[in-house]
Amino acid sequence: MSLIAQTFAELKAQNKTALITFITAGDPAPNLTVPLMHAMVAGGANILELGVPFSDPMAEGPVIQRACERALAQGVGIMDVFAMVAEFRKTNQHTPVVLMGYANPIERIGAARFIAESQQAGADGAIVVDYPPEECEEFSAAMRAAGLDLIFLLAPTSTEQRIAQVAQVGGGFSYYVSLKGVTGAGNIDTVEVAERLKAIRQHVALPIGVGFGIRDGATARAVAEVADAVVIGSRIIQEIENVGAEQAVAAVESFVAGISSALDA
């Protein structure tokens, strides 16, 4: 059982919904990434998503686009991200870390090296936004052989065929994108989310996390009524932008703690 699967199993036994939090590696500064990861765990995050900076993050809204630009301006690349995960693992071996990004950085170093470096650093899985499941059977099998989960996105527009493909090759959990649009945009319709998750669960046995549009404790708790995990990213990066680098770690821990408390209430 992967660490991600183990985490979901433990939370299910406690009748709890997982809190998955996202930051972009290297933002607002490379030396703050690992402290921010620890801060999110201290605030109550159960799984961490660490964004690999990329120059054309097509699924991201302006907030995460800016985070990628700040990280890239400081020279942060995929090898630096592996080093950050390895540093985090020196003092935390129990919180799953998922690398989230795009195909280009992986293709540049090669899939085999990406898997080897991820495993060596201590990552537990990856979300590659522009890897379609129908073209990922070999990559997914190689990830699974290395003890890593390949996690896929599902959208309001996903067909039954696409959902079935994700069920076949995905691991860890499935990430349901609650909005037709980019990260950080719009308001989530929890009734519509509940209906879509019911349809998805007819095909997908994995836990389902819901992200895009979750901005506060009330929304998180509403989503937690129907999902196995709540995913928050843009709102955390906004918090970093609001307070600046010097206060970022404390502000992120406080914000995540507020969401965690809302989920546990």
| C-alpha 171 chain-centroid distance | 13
Task: Report how far residue 57's alpha carbon sits from residue 118's, in angstroms, rounded to the nearest whole number.
Answer: 21
DSSP letter string over 154-194?
E-TT--HHHHHHHHHH--S-EEEE-SSS-TT-S---HHHHH
State the alpha helices, DSSP H only, in the chain: 3-13, 33-43, 62-73, 78-89, 103-109, 111-121, 137-145, 160-169, 190-200, 217-224, 234-243, 245-264
Determine the 3-state secondary structure of 140 from DSSP.
helix
Task: Report how far residue 192's alpha carbon sits from residue 179's, in angstroms, rounded to the nearest whole number.
Answer: 10
Closest CA to 53 of 40, 37, 65: 65
Crossing angle of helices 137-145/111-121, nearest 10°? 30
Residue type present at position 225: E
Task: Report how far residue 209's alpha carbon sits from residue 84's, in angstroms, rounded to the nearest whole number.
Answer: 24
Active site residues per annotation: 49, 60
Separation in Å, CA 118 to CA 5, 47, 57, 73, 78: 17, 16, 21, 23, 10
> Cis peptide leading into 28, omega within 30 of 0?
yes
